[in-house]
C-alpha cells in the first residue's frame, strides 16, 4: 500500500509541476481551482500512466530480444573462434564422462544510442591471449569496427558501434579540436561513433585514400586540405598538389601554401616529385649538419621552424611506368616522416595492376570509401567491409590494426571555395621562406640572354672559331 501511495504522490507532484509549467504559478495559485485542478490532476495522471504502459509494452520485447540477439551472436562467435574451455562431467543418464564447453560469462549487455557494450569475464583456465588473438572473429560477426578492450585481469569489453549519421555538416571548430587533441601534425578525417577521428602524421606519415568514383573521395580531400589551410599558415605547411584528372585541386590555385603550379600532366608530376626529392635531400643535409634525427629535434637544436610538406596526388595510378616518380615516392615513403614530408595518395582501386605493392605498403593510414569489390577492400583494409558501404562520405580508416568507421563531414565545393578565398586574403602579401636555398652564385648557372647579348655572344664565338689554330694543336 505504501508503495502505491508513494507512486501516487510522485504522480501528483509530476502533474502539479506540469500544470504550473503550462499555466503559470500565479494563475494556478491565485484562482479557486480546487475542483478544476483535481480533475486536471486525474486527467494528467491517467495520460502519464497510459503513456508509460504503452511505452513499456512496445519497447520491452525489443529490449529483451535485442539483448538476446546480441548474446546469441556472441556465443556463435565464441564457437567459431574456439573461445571456450573444454571440461568433462559425468552424464546423469548413463553415468559416463562427457565433454562440455565453458564460454566466457556475458556479464552485461548495454545497448545505447551509439554503441553496444558487452562485458565479458573469462572462465577459469582460459588465457587472455586466446580471446585477444581471435578478436577478428568478433569483427566478422559484429562488423569491422567492433573493438575488444582488455579491461583488467580476466575482464574484457566488446564495443559494437551503431551506425553513424548519413550526413554531418563540416565544422572547422570540430576539425581543429580533433587536430589539437593529437598533439602532433594531424590530418582530420571525420566523425566516428565515439568522437572525431584525426591521425597524427608524425606517427603514421603516409595516407592512402581509395574508393570508386562518386562516393566521397573528392569531398574528403577538400575536408583535409581546407582544414589544414585554415589551421596552419604557409610558415608551417607547404603543399605539392598533383591532379591528373584535372578536376580536383583547381580551387587551390594561387593559395600561398601551394608550391609552384598544380601538376596536371605526367611530366609535370615527375618534375614536381623531383623538386620534393630535392627538399628531402636538402633537409637530410641540414639535419645531418645539426646532428638532428628528425624535424622536431632539428627545431629544438637550431630554433629554426620548418614547414611540414604534404604531397597530394590524385589518381596516382596514372603515374604507371614513370619509374623515376615511383622511386621518389618510395623514398619519401621510407624517409619522409623524419624530414616532415608526408604523402596523401588517392586512387580508385588498389589491385596489383594499378597500385604498386611497395607503394601500398608504405601507406600506413588507409582510408577506404566504397570499393569496387571484396578483393580490393581486402587487399587494402584486410576486410571486405568497404565494398558494402552504402552511404556517401562513409569510410573505414585503418591505422596499424585498428579499423574505425567514419563519416566524412560534408563540405560543398562552394563553401570550400569561399574558405579558400578567405585564406588567400589572409595571407596576401605575406612573404614565405623558400623550401630550398637560393642558388650558389659561385657555381655557373644557365642564364637567359636578351637579343643584344645573344648577338654579342654569337659574334664572340665566331671570332674565336676563326682564330688561327696554334701549330702544336694540329699535330
Ligand atoms: N561526406 C559526404 N557527406 C554527404 N554526401 C557526400 C559526402 N561526400 C560525397 N557526398 C555526395 O556524393 C557526391 C560525390 O562525392 P565526391 O565528388 O566527393 O565523390 P568522389 O568519390 O570523389 O567522386 P569522383 O571520383 O568522381 O570525383 C557528392 O556530390 C555528394 O552528393
Strand order in the sheet with 365-368: 195-200, 186-192, 402-407, 394-399, 365-368, 206-210, 341-347, 308-314, 237-243
DSSP state of 88: E
Contact call for residues 192 and 161 (beta carbons, < 8 A): yes
Q: Rounded to the nearest 5°, which phi and psi values hold at 315?
A: 60, 60
The CB of 410 under 6 Å from ligand 1? The reply is: yes
What pLDDT was estimated at residue 13?
77
Reported ipTM: the value is: 0.97
C-alpha to C-alpha distance for 257 and 265, rounded to whole angstroms? 21
The verdict on the CB of residue 413 being under 6 Å from ligand 1 is no
CA distance linking residue 370 with residue 368, whole number of Å: 6
Measured between alpha carbons, how far is 104 from 154 in angstroms, rounded to an integer? 9
The verdict on the CB of residue 347 being under 6 Å from ligand 1 is no
Query: What is the per-residue pLDDT for 474?
Result: 45
245 lines ligand 1 (CB under 6 A): no
Q: Where are the alpha helices (DSSP H) in 292-450?
A: 295-302, 323-335, 357-361, 374-381, 413-426
Higher pLDDT, 388 or 439: 388
pTM of the model: 0.69
Residue 236 half-sphere exposure toward CB, CA atoms < 13 A: 11
Average pLDDT over all residues of the chain: 86
Please, where in the chain does CATH 3.40.50.300 lie?
172-426
How many whole angstroms from 189 Cα to the centroid of ligand 1? Answer: 14
At 299, is the pLDDT very low, low, confident or very high (cuts 50, 70, 90)?
very high
Whose CA is closest to atom 2 on ligand 1?
A: 393
Residue 205: other Cβ atoms inside 10 A: 27
- Is 214 part of any known ligand binding site? yes
From 202, 244, 184, 252, select the one nearest 222 (Cα to Cα). 252
pLDDT tens string 362-405: 899 999 999 999 998 998 998 899 999 999 999 999 998 788 89
Query: pLDDT per residue over 228-279, tens digit each?
Result: 999 999 999 999 999 988 777 999 999 999 998 999 999 999 999 999 999 9
pLDDT in tens, 94-127: 788 888 889 999 999 998 877 899 999 999 989 9
Confidence class for position 440, pLDDT limits 50, 70, 90: low
Residue (of 173, 172, 217, 168) closest to 193 by Cα position:
168
Average pLDDT over residues 178-192: 93
Higher pLDDT, 320 or 117: 117
Report percent pLDDT > 90 for the chain: 51
CA-nearest residue for atom 15, ligand 1, is 216
Pick from 434, 449, 93: nearest CA to 283: 434
Q: Which CATH architecture has domain 172-426?
A: 3-Layer(aba) Sandwich (3.40)
Amino acid at each position: 500500500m505504501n508503495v502505491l501511495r508513494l507512486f501516487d504522490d510522485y504522480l501528483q507532484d509530476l502533474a502539479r509541476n506540469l500544470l504550473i509549467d503550462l499555466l503559470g504559478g500565479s494563475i494556478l495559485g491565485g484562482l479557486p481551482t480546487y475542483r478544476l485542478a483535481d480533475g486536471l490532476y486525474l486527467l494528467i495522471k491517467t495520460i502519464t500512466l497510459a503513456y508509460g504502459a504503452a511505452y513499456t509494452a512496445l519497447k520491452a520485447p525489443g529490449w529483451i530480444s535485442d539483448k538476446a540477439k546480441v548474446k546469441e551472436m556472441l556465443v556463435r562467435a565464441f564457437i567459431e573462434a574456439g573461445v571456450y574451455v573444454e571440461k568433462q562431467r559425468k552424464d546423469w543418464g548413463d553415468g559416463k564422462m562427457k565433454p562440455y564447453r565453458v564460454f566466457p560469462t556475458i556479464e552485461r549487455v548495454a545497448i545505447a544510442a551509439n554503441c553496444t557494450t558487452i562485458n565479458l569475464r573469462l572462465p577459469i583456465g582460459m588465457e587472455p591471449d586466446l580471446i585477444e588473438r581471435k578478436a577478428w572473429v568478433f569483427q566478422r560477426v559484429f562488423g569491422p569496427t567492433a573493438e575488444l578492450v582488455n579491461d583488467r585481469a580476466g575482464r574484457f569489453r566488446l564495443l559494437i558501434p551503431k551506425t553513424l549519421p548519413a550526413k554531418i555538416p563540416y565544422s572547422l571548430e570540430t576539425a581543429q579540436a580533433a587536430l589539437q587533441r593529437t598533439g602532433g601534425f594531424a590530418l582530420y578525417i571525420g566523425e566516428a561513433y565515439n568522437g572525431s577521428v584525426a591521425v597524427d602524421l608524425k606517427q603514421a606519415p603516409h595516407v592512402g585514400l581509395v574508393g570508386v568514383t562518386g562516393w566521397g573521395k573528392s569531398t574528403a580531400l577538400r575536408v583535409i586540405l581546407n582544414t589544414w589551410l585554415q589551421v596552419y599558415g604557409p610558415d608551417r605547411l607547404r603543399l605539392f598538389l598533383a591532379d591528373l584528372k584535372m578536376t580536383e585541386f583547381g580551387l587551390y590555385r594561387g593559395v600561398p601554401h601551394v608550391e609552384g603550379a598544380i601538376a596536371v600532366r605526367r611530366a609535370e608530376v615527375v618534375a614536381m616529385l623531383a623538386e620534393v626529392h630535392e627538399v628531402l635531400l636538402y633537409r637530410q643535409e641540414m639535419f645531418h649538419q645539426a646532428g638532428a634525427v628528425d624535424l622536431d629535434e632539428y627545431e629544438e637544436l637550431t630554433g629554426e621552424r620548418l614547414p611540414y610538406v604534404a604531397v597530394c596526388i590524385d589518381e596516382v595510378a596514372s603515374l604507371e611506368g614513370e619509374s623515376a616518380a615511383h622511386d621518389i615516392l618510395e623514398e619519401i615513403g621510407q624517409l619522409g616522416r623524419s624530414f616532415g614530408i608526408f604523402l596523401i595518395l588517392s586512387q580508385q582501386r588498389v589491385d596489383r595492376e594499378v597500385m604498386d605493392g611497395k607503394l601500398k605498403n608504405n601507406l600506413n593510414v588507409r582510408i577506404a570509401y566504397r570499393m569496387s569489390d571484396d578483393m580490393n577492400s581486402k587487399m587494402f583494409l584486410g576486410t571486405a567491409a568497404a565494398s558494402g558501404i552504402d552511404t556517401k562520405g562513409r569510410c573505414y580508416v585503418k591505422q596499424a590494426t585498428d579499423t574505425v568507421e567514419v563519416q566524412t563531414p560534408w563540405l560543398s565545393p562552394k563553401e570550400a571555395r569561399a574558405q579558400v578565398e578567405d585564406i588567400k586574403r589572409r595571407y596576401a602579401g605575406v612573404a614565405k621562406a623558400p623550401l630550398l636555398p637560393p642558388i650558389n652564385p659561385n657555381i655557373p648557372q644557365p642564364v637567359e640572354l636578351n637579343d643584344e647579348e645573344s648577338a654579342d655572344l654569337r659574334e664572340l664565338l665566331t671570332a674565336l672559331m676563326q682564330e688561327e689554330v696554334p701549330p702544336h694543336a694540329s699535330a
